[in-house]
Amino acid sequence: MTHPSVIENATCLGCGCTCDDIDVVVASGRIVEARNACQLGLRWFGDGQVPSNIRVDGADVTAEQAVSSAAARLCEADRPLVYIAPGLSCESQREAVAVADLLRARLDSVTTWTALPFTLASQEHGHASATLGEVRNRADVLVFWGIDLAERYPRFAARYAPNPPGTHVPDGRQSRTVIAVDVGSATATIDADVRVAVEPADELATLTALEAITRSPDARHHASLPDRAWVVARELALALLSARYIGLVYDAEPDDRSERTTVRFEALVSLAQALNDRTRCAALALRAGGNRSGADSILVAQTGYPCAVDFARGYPRYDPHASALRDPGAYGTDAVLVLGDPTGLPSEVSRTLAAHDTVAIGPRASTMTLGERCVVIDTGVDGIHASGTALRTDDVPLPLRASLGGPRSTAETIRGVALGIRRLLLLDRAAASAESAALGT
Amino acid sequence: MSQLRITGGSVYDPANDIDGDVRDICIEDGRIVTSLPDSAPRLDARAMVVMPGGVDMHCHVASATVNVARRLLPEEHARHPATAPSLDDPAEVPRSGAAGTVPTTFTTGYRYAGLGYTTVFDAAVAPIMARTAHSQLDDTPIVDGGFFALLGNDDYLLRLIDSGDRERAREYAAWVLGATGAYAIKIVNPAGVELWKRGTKERTNLDTTLGSSRVTPRAILETLVDSANTLKLPHAAHIHCNNLGLPGNSETTLATMAALDGRRAHFTHLQFHSYGTSPDGRWRSAAREIVEYVNAHENVSGDVGQVMFGSATTLTADAPVEYLLHKSSGRKWANVDIELETGCGVVPHEYRDRNAVAALQWAIGLELFLLSGDPWRLVLSTDHPNGGSFMSYPELIRLLMDRAHRDVQIARVEQRLLTGSALADGLAREYSMREIAIITRAGPARLLGLRNKGHLGVGADADLTVYAPHDNRATMFSTPRYVVKGGVLVVEEGQLRRAPAGHRLHVRPPFEQSVARDIERFFDSYGTVRYANYPVAALRDSPLPVGAR
């Protein structure tokens, strides 16, 4: 075994907390330890070993052959779908959007599947928010609303709030009041000073009552809201309205939980905004791992929309209400390009994507169960085998450090496909103009 | 070796005292040269106007805040789709996008170039978000670009000011600029953003205290303005004064200028800071007082921040302003408090010519231009997209150059608050072609300390624009016939043909290492990003020299 080396301050994409204090210990070409990492982080770093297969229709080929097959097949398709799975750096995501633009494809990401209600609510109303450090340094009242921190964001409490001291909360946990709101089975796993339980059926009414009290302290019971909503709301309002700075923390994509509607997120967004009339409040809608916030941000910067983009008309159109995944037949999707780590996809998404002619490029792409006609290029993991950038759940950008050598770079591979497509399209254009010249038109 | 001779155009190059003279411009390998062999390729510019490429010294096009705005505006993007240009180079991937008030990255680059602009600065980037700004600039093709780093509400700086250690504050400012790849120091509502984060919504004055009597807007301004000047940064500290947008704020603006007493300083979007109040408490124009101060003080420069009628998106680090705008207009509102540094607020807005305040804002901007005694020190901006889009610059130029057109517009707007305004009283001035070249190119380049930009002298970057003259100046300036960027012909016959990557303009002033160690301790105590992960990776372009003024 070679002498271990340590890559300090590595960034983890295990969840949206994107902790950047991981010391990765490498020996004999493997990750043997990820110090400071939580269970999600340990799973994300693993031992750093990933497959490195490159195949076209099941046969091993060179990377160049696979890239040019991928470009050719995608160009042939009438209605390709480019799908951004979790696990890409911002640099790789930027190339992914270029491919979709060139192909006039549909472009989607896991955001449409898991976080669309929150996304639409914040586009409709805006949001009152902050970066995580602001909540760490200021929040004297924290509300964890139906969020399972222990399972979904294991280091949030220790790294951001309520535990660490901050500039305006010098005694950390002791300087803060922590309120846990359990919504049905969505238990807010946190050591709370106040804990209230809300039935899922009453959640919207409770948020509405709380906003009403915030906007008008002498708000009367309104018959359309159940009494128990008012009771809980009054209890919460007591703590919230005496705060200097409220951190309202919830999950933007509560996976595997009951369906969360846009209206529910609108109520959370609107409550946070209203609280700013009385004190200060920042809502944190947390995102899961794999640089999902990065994908949204790159799509917004390049297309104007965070997900569910259709380039069919030669420019990006937002089509969030009709997911190509939920109803692939309606879009005539005839080829799919999956970019990123397919093991990070919800299984239903993975199955739907695999039902088409598929090109899969990313770490562990070859682990996807695909049909006979497919191009597969395994690449390294951005953040383990390649450096780059990722965004934390609050859009704070962080560097990704490469700890190991590994398969080819994802960003460069996608770039290769983009340039291949560009060349083919230029050839098509040249052929078309030669043809029209020959016809004397 | 690439060469190009632009022949026979009327050249407006005010930095070199050339005022419409017919002459050739010779370009070799991206720079202006004295001469070229006769065999060099030629571009016929006879009967056309040749100017240096436009330089926008204050806009918002590449930052996390700009992205907050983009995300907030799906309905606007849907109304303004942007198809990809037809580019010649197979290695350049032409990109579609969305336009509107806050265009997507690639569309921003294409459209600036399409207007003849070749250098663009984002005026407000939170240091912690610097990577995002660089990423967006990387995706903004053609134009050379950079950004200003937001200081003045950052916790570490305020602590140094509280301890009276202004020299360390200067070293810290130098560290921030280098760590983030920024070009200049930007101050936004000093102390006011931090007060907002502490729950205060009242207006501030220069001596409002922030926790300690030593920490005031005045102390912050003095410290950072002195830092920029002592570090000999190419651009002065770029100041967005306290109380933006509030009636009566001209007092604050004048007090700020006076407080800096002879120091080199740049005051941005002055229009938004030139509001007086009449005895009956109504808004009035204070443009004359402000511009007279600027005219009389050589150390002071500014940009106007003109309001143009139509849709805009207000986005700023001055988050309390956005809260107030949201409450008064009822439009949707995004706020992001940015840890230990600054704020971010976004509210879409509409400037209507029948709205009295909007009409006053529009008039004040024009008054500032028309009463300015020195175009080199008061230059063009709309604070894009706050006062209006950069796409409205041609119409703004027409308003400045064409009095008859302007008078028609004045007659159309709501007059209620214009009583006593200089504009309503009739300002006859019309900007000359030379003056337009100053306020859109030569002036901003000089104020930014860009030695190779904004002029066409030997050694300058070969960034230039060729316009076909037209009586309607808006038509002329909105459709350049040719644009050359770094010696590459990017616009030909009015069509965008090439979109090479632009250069990054940034500085890296030296600083004392002991300050860096102290900053690291501060990060360990209160940061959520590791000190080692804060600085951006090496940029593809070297930093510009400091101390070369």
How many interface pairs between A and B have CB atoms less than 8 angstroms apart? 194
**Whether residue A238 is found in the same domain as residue A365:** no
**Whether residue A216 is found in the same domain as residue A280:** yes
More reliable by pLDDT, A121 or A328: A121
The answer to whether residue A302 sits within a structural domain is yes
In what helix (H) or strand (E) does residue B447 lie, and over which residues does it extend?
Answer: helix B443-448
The answer to whether residue B411 sits within a structural domain is yes
Contact residues for B517 (Cβ-Cβ < 8 A; gap 6+): none
Taking the Cβ of residue B64 and every Cβ of chain A, the question of whether any pair is shorter than 8 Å is answered with yes
Question: How do residues B408-443 score in pLDDT, each as one tens digit?
Answer: 999 999 999 998 888 888 899 999 999 999 999 999
| pLDDT higher than threshold 80 for residue A331 | no
Contact B339 A124 (CB under 8 A): no
The answer to whether residue A30 sits within a structural domain is no
- Closest by CA position to A326, among listed A305, A304, A344, A308: A308
Tell me which DSSP letter residue B501 carries.
P
CATH of the domain at B93: 3.20.20
In which band, very low, low, confident or very high, does the pLDDT at A259 lie, cut at 50, 70 and 90? low
Residue of chain B nearest A122, judged by CA positions: B72
| Pairing label, strands B184-188, B238-240 | parallel
In which band, very low, low, confident or very high, does the pLDDT at B84 lie, cut at 50, 70 and 90? very high
Question: How do residues B476-520 score in pLDDT, each as one tens digit?
Answer: 999 999 999 999 999 999 999 999 999 999 999 999 999 999 999
The answer to whether residue A19 sits within a structural domain is no
pLDDT of residue B350: 98
Question: How do residues A130-146 score in pLDDT, each as one tens digit?
Answer: 999 999 999 999 999 99
CATH of the domain at A240: 3.40.228.10
pLDDT of residue A188: 86
Distance (Å, rounded) from C-alpha B61 to C-alpha B119? 12
Would you call A195 exposed, middle or buried from its count of C-beta atoms within 10 A (0-12, 13-18, 19+)? middle
Would you call A174 exposed, middle or buried from its count of C-beta atoms within 10 A (0-12, 13-18, 19+)? exposed
Contact B74 A166 (CB under 8 A): no
The answer to whether residue B8 sits within a structural domain is no
Residue of chain A nearest B109, judged by CA positions: A302
Instruction: Say which range, A77-86, A186-195, B69-78, B464-473, has the weakest mean pLDDT.
Output: A186-195
Contact A302 B346 (CB under 8 A): no
Distance (Å, rounded) from C-alpha A397 to C-alpha B133? 10
- As a whole number, the mean pLDDT across chain A is 94
| pLDDT higher than threshold 80 for residue A322 | no
**Whether residue A319 is found in the same domain as residue A203:** no
Among B199, B326, B533, beta carbon nearest to A398 = B533
Taking the Cβ of residue B337 and every Cβ of chain A, the question of whether any pair is shorter than 8 Å is answered with yes
Is the ipTM, as predicted for this complex, more than 0.90? Answer: yes
The answer to whether residue A250 sits within a structural domain is yes
More reliable by pLDDT, B460 or B538: B460
- Closest by CA position to B235, among listed B268, B265, B267, B269: B265
The answer to whether residue B202 sits within a structural domain is yes
- Helix (H/G/I), strand (E/B), else coil: A183: strand
- Among A270, A286, A302, the domain-final residue is A286
| pLDDT higher than threshold 80 for residue B55 | yes
pLDDT of residue B538: 86
Contact residues for B73 (Cβ-Cβ < 8 A; gap 6+): A304, B100, B101, B102, B313, B348
Enter the tokens of residue B483.
Answer: 């644009």
Choose the mutation target among A395, A401, A421, A427 for the interface with B, i.e. most B CBs under 10 Å. Answer: A395
Instruction: Say which range, A213-227, A425-439, B196-210, has the weakest mean pLDDT.
Output: A213-227
Question: How do residues A347-393 score in pLDDT, each as one tens digit?
Answer: 888 988 888 899 999 999 999 998 899 999 999 999 999 999 999 99
| pLDDT higher than threshold 60 for residue B549 | no
CA A26 and chain centroid, separation: 28
Distance (Å, rounded) from C-alpha A13 to C-alpha B356? 51
Among B197, B340, B528, beta carbon nearest to A160 = B528
**Whether residue A143 is found in the same domain as residue A255:** yes
**Whether residue A362 is found in the same domain as residue A378:** yes
Taking the Cβ of residue B330 and every Cβ of chain A, the question of whether any pair is shorter than 8 Å is answered with no
Contact A303 B98 (CB under 8 A): yes
Question: How do residues B392-410 score in pLDDT, each as one tens digit?
Answer: 999 999 999 999 999 999 9
The answer to whether residue B531 sits within a structural domain is no
The total domain count for chain B is 1
Residue of chain A nearest B156, judged by CA positions: A167
Taking the Cβ of residue A187 and every Cβ of chain B, the question of whether any pair is shorter than 8 Å is answered with no
pLDDT of residue A258: 45
Decide: B387 and B271 in contact? Cβ < 8 Å: yes
Contact residues for B360 (Cβ-Cβ < 8 A; gap 6+): B275, B283, B284, B285, B417, B418, B421
The answer to whether residue A73 sits within a structural domain is yes
- Closest by CA position to B123, among listed B444, B310, B383: B383
Token match 């006859």: residue? B428
| Chain A residues lying within 8 Å of B338, measured CB to CB | 130-131, 134
| pLDDT higher than threshold 70 for residue A221 | no
CA dihedral A37, A39, A45, A48 (to 10 degrees): 130
In which band, very low, low, confident or very high, does the pLDDT at A173 lie, cut at 50, 70 and 90? very high
The total domain count for chain A is 2
Q: What spatial distance separates the first Cα and last Cα of chain B, rounded to whole Å?
A: 31
The answer to whether residue A43 sits within a structural domain is no
If you average pLDDT over residues A237-244, what whole number do you get? 96
Angle at the Cα of A332 (from A327 to A336), degrees rounded to 5?
85
| Pairing label, strands A59-60, A54-56 | antiparallel
Question: How do residues A7-48 score in pLDDT, each as one tens digit?
Answer: 999 999 999 999 999 999 999 999 999 999 999 999 999 999
Distance (Å, rounded) from C-alpha A27 to C-alpha B470? 70
Would you call B380 exposed, middle or buried from its count of C-beta atoms within 10 A (0-12, 13-18, 19+)? buried
| pLDDT higher than threshold 60 for residue B134 | yes
Q: How far is CA B54 from CA B370, B479, B495, in A?
A: 20, 13, 17
**Whether residue A132 is found in the same domain as residue A160:** yes
**Whether residue A178 is found in the same domain as residue A229:** yes
Among A273, A305, A418, beta carbon nearest to B93 = A418
| pLDDT higher than threshold 70 for residue A100 | yes
**Whether residue A327 is found in the same domain as residue A280:** no
In which band, very low, low, confident or very high, does the pLDDT at A93 lie, cut at 50, 70 and 90? very high
Note if the pTM is more than 0.80.
yes
- Helix (H/G/I), strand (E/B), else coil: B52: strand
Tell me which DSSP letter residue A353 carries.
H
The HSE-up count of residue B307 (CA atoms within 13 Å, CB side) is 27
If you average pLDDT over residues A194-214, what whole number do you get? 95
**Whether residue A133 is found in the same domain as residue A279:** yes
**Whether residue A107 is found in the same domain as residue A123:** no
**Whether residue A247 is found in the same domain as residue A348:** no
Decide: B85 and B496 in contact? Cβ < 8 Å: yes
The residue range of the domain holding B455 is 50-496
Choose the mutation target among A107, A280, A313, A423 for the interface with B, i.e. most B CBs under 10 Å. Answer: A280
| Pairing label, strands B54-59, B117-125 | parallel
Interface of B with A in 143-182 (CB under 8 A): 155
In which band, very low, low, confident or very high, does the pLDDT at B154 lie, cut at 50, 70 and 90? very high
Interface of B with A in 95-114 (CB under 8 A): 95-98, 100, 104-106
Contact A245 B527 (CB under 8 A): no
Q: What is the 3-state secondary structure (H, E, C) of A282-327?
A: EEEEECECCCHHHHHHHHHHHHCCCCCEECCCCCCEECCCCCCCCC
Token match 């010696």: residue? B487
A317 forms beta bridges with A310
Residue of chain B nearest A423, judged by CA positions: B90
Taking the Cβ of residue B90 and every Cβ of chain A, the question of whether any pair is shorter than 8 Å is answered with yes
**Whether residue A279 is found in the same domain as residue A297:** no
The answer to whether residue B157 sits within a structural domain is yes
The residue range of the domain holding A101 is 51-112+291-383+406-438
pLDDT of residue A257: 47
Instruction: Count other C-beta atoms under 10 Å from residue A328's C-beta.
Output: 19
- Among A255, A286, A317, the domain-final residue is A286
The answer to whether residue A40 sits within a structural domain is no
Q: How far is CA B351 from CA A110, B313, B362, in A?
A: 38, 10, 9
pLDDT of residue B491: 98
Taking the Cβ of residue B475 and every Cβ of chain A, the question of whether any pair is shorter than 8 Å is answered with no
The answer to whether residue A388 sits within a structural domain is no
CATH of the domain at A57: 3.40.50.10490
Distance (Å, rounded) from C-alpha B10 to C-alpha B467? 10
